[in-house]
Structure 1
Amino acid sequence: MQCLSVLDLKAIETVAETGSFRKSALRLGIGQPAISRRVARVEDRIGVSLFERRRSGARLTLAGRVFVGRARGILNDLSAAWDMARSVGEAKTGELRIGLIASLSRGTLRCVIEEFLLGHPDVHLSFTEAERGELLSLLNHREIDVFIATGTNSLAIGDTMVLDEERTYLAVPSNSHLAVKTQLTWTDVEDETYLVSKREAGQDIHDYIHRRISDLGKPVSLQWHRLGHEGIMTLVGLGLGISLIADHWRGVSYPNVTFVRIGEADERIPFSLVWRPENDNPALRRFLSLARVHAKGAASSLSEVSQNRDPWP
């Protein structure tokens, strides 16, 4: 037996609701003969009459009532499926999975997420904080949609976009002589002990500090710790050393820790979004479109920055 079309089911449902082939045709905007042919074709296929035809209209038979009840459920389910697919396709619903190395306490990424949430309140956001290597693996296996990390387009695993270039700061003990300054040079801190995490962007921080201090002809005093950012900040507050951070980390305060600007005006750290170009998640596409707007705004505010900046790897 041939399958029935949606129009067949809709025609039968409308005749049942209006009690008339003529009124059904008017509601659906098609000719009455077309309605009659569709109903008759269905009746022929299933071998029973669905309506009693009278001059006063059409009335459902017992078989017709059973058929229309089931048909209405099918049409309702189909309508719900259409609405859901359209909603997901327009990023009104769905899920966006974001990987993090950076903080969300302040900065451009936080602004993008806040604006995305306002425009897409029914899209579920999930976050994963991990090291770069793990985030790359999660991205390749489609377990996250996008992540942000230090550096520019040096990852040959997908598309990237520089979201912002942030100023560099040193986290220093608030009771130290460094905390009273508003700006530090690398010469001011060439003899300090630097605390670096083995997690997150620790290797990037190590390389950056090493270049800066080595340029001064000095050996670098650096200590590695198996701690996250909060743990490193705790050690700074205890007076065990200082640590390099980007501007977005300054949205969180820590006991006995002060953030002081380090380096020249053009000394900034690039942060990039990374995603797979074949990922067709509509929520990701909307998120990236919004990120591009913010990235352009951030770039325009850096128009005076020197081209000889020293980005992190």
Structure 2
Amino acid sequence: MELTPMRLVELNYFLAVVDTGSFGKAARSLNLQTSTLSRAISRLEDKLGVSLVERTLAGCRVTRHGHMAAQRIRRVMNEANALTERSIQNTASMIAEIHVGFHLPPVNATLTNFLLEWRIICPSISVTPHEPNETTLQAALLDRQIDAALIPDYLLPRCEAQTPIYFEPLMAVLPSDHHLAERIVLRWNDLADEKLLLWSWAKEGIGRDFFATRLPDVSMQVFETSNMTLLAFVRAGYGVTITAQAYSTLNLPGLTFIPIGEADAHIEVNLVWRAESEDPVVGKFVAFMRDRAKRHWRVASSCAASESPDPPP
């Protein structure tokens, strides 16, 4: 049998299922759809050649092979964590700089905590932010203008090394006098009759597909502008838009940001870097971010496991 490399994220997904005892709870803790998580576990089972989880009408049950695999995975993860910590400590005395590109404003609480911890642990290695526009972010990475970038999953360059870091909720943005502006939460169906304004990335096929699966019949207009200019047109009543929760922290007058209460109302933000990079500082930063993201997922999984029982996934 040909051995296929296992992705670290798949191992983390499996541990989340083991810890919560439910595909549904694990998926919610990871901000994934249950079907996406189930497929990831199936791929892992195919790679290992054994059944890890039995799916039943009552939920799921970890098999004997699954429990054995979980023990070994945890042991490997603990050793990897210890190695990462030693590497970070060795890096802390270096004086260096890493250039990171941001597609979204880095105000997400999870990301902010990661960056704060990095500054405390490695105070002599500064992080310099870059915000190229959507058409040049990948080019800046390839041209070595930046060392790494945090990019939403729908814009991921497939040729680069990448790892998921956090999930950014999506929100609907309406003029404050819009008839839906008083709602506490919205569903995709609530926006079906609205004119949806989108910024330039949505003209690409992957951008159109992103919204076509969520709002298949909505009328869309793409603006060749920045997101801030688009928000100004929303405020002027030209339509509504969907944007990352990060923009809601700007407290822009005349606009109302409303959460979307759907399982797919989020984007996965990944750290991307050049696979051929041999810079030890970049390697340490990537290892740090990947380790912190993994810990965050485990904490989220534990919180989901402590909640009251949910209907079977």
Q: How does 1:182-201 map to 2 (within 5 A)?
A: 182-198=184-200
Q: Indicate if the aligned counterparts of 1:173 and 1:237 stay in contact, CA closer than 8 A.
A: yes
Q: Does structure 2 conserve the Cα–Cα contact (< 8 Å) formed by 1:107 and 1:248?
A: no
Report the CA distance shift for 1:133/1:232 in structure 2 as closer, same or farther (over 3 A). Answer: closer
User: Alpha carbons of 1:213 and 1:301: their partners in 2 closer, same or farther (altered >3 Å)?
Assistant: farther
Partner of 1:270: 268
Partner Cα separation in structure 1 for residue 186 and residue 159 of structure 2: 37
What's 1:63 paired with?
none
Which amino acid is the alignment partner of residue 208 of structure 1?
F
3-state SS of paired residue (1:233): helix
| Matched residue, 1:176 | 178
- Post-superposition Cα deviations, 1:218-258, rounded to whole Å, max 9, x if no partner, equal 3x311222221211222222222111112233222211111
Go from structure 1 to structure 2 and tell me whether the alpha carbon gap of 1:155 and 1:280 turns closer, same or farther (over 3 Å shift): same
- Alpha-carbon displacement from aligned partner over 1:105-132 (angstroms, at most 9, x marks no partner): 3343333222222333332332221245
Note the residue ranges of structure 2 that are not aligned, 5 or more in a row. 1-88, 306-313
Q: Is the 8 A contact 1:106 1:249 kept in 2?
A: no
CA 1:153–1:105 in structure 2 vs 1: closer, same or farther (change >3 Å)?
closer
Write out per-residue CA displacement over residues 187-219 of structure 1, whole angstroms, 9 at most, x where no aligned residue. 1110111111115x76455432222221xxx3x
More off after superposition, 246-255 vs 293-302:
293-302
1:119 and 2:121 aligned: yes
Give the aligned residue type for 1:124.
Answer: S
Is the 1:90–1:282 Cα contact (8 Å) retained in structure 2? no
User: Which letter does structure 2 place at the counterpart of 1:224?
Assistant: V
**1:212–1:153 distance in 2 versus 1, CA, 3 Å:** closer
Partners of 1:291 and 1:250 lie apart in 2 by 25
2:223 equivalent among 222, 225, 230: 225
1:290 aligns with 2:292: no
| Percent of pairs with identical residues | 25
Please give the TM-score of this superposition, normalised by the length of structure 2: 0.60
Superposition CA RMSD, Å:
2.9
Bigger radius of gyration among the two: 1
The whole-number CA distance in structure 2 between the counterparts of 1:89 and 1:302 is 29
1:90-239 to structure 2, matched below 5 A, reads 90=92, 92-151=94-153, 155-198=157-200, 203=204, 205-214=207-216, 218=217, 220-239=218-237
Say if 1:237 and 1:254, in contact at 8 Å, map to a contact too: no
> C-alpha separation between the residues in 1 aligned to 2:203 and 2:296?
25
Report the secondary structure of 1:149's partner residue: strand
Q: Which segments of 5 or more consecutive residues in structure 1 lack a partner in the other structure?
A: 1-86, 306-313
Give a deviation string over 1:42-97, Cα, whole Å, max 9, x none.
xxxxxxxxxxxxxxxxxxxxxxxxxxxxxxxxxxxxxxxxxxxxx99656311101
Note if contact 1:139-1:145 (Cα within 8 Å) is conserved in structure 2. yes
Higher relative contact order (CA 8 A, sep 6+): 2
CA distance in 2, matches of 1:148, 1:266: 20
Task: Give the conservation status (yes or no) of the 8 Å contact 2:188–2:262.
Answer: no
**Take 1:153 and 1:205, find their aligned partners in 2: how far apart are those partners?**
8
The C-alpha deviation readout for 1:22-54, integer Å capped at 9, x for no partner, is xxxxxxxxxxxxxxxxxxxxxxxxxxxxxxxxx
TM-score relative to the length of structure 1: 0.60
1:95 maps to a residue whose letter is E
Report how many residues are paired.
215
Check the 8 A contact 1:101/1:129 in 2, yes or no: yes
> Which letter does structure 2 place at the counterpart of 1:181?
R
Going from structure 1 to structure 2, the CA distance change for 1:302 and 1:131 (only over 3 Å counts) comes to: farther
For residues 154 and 92 of structure 2, the distance between their equivalents in structure 1, rounded to whole angstroms, comes to: 30
* 2:243 counterpart (245, 250, 257): 245
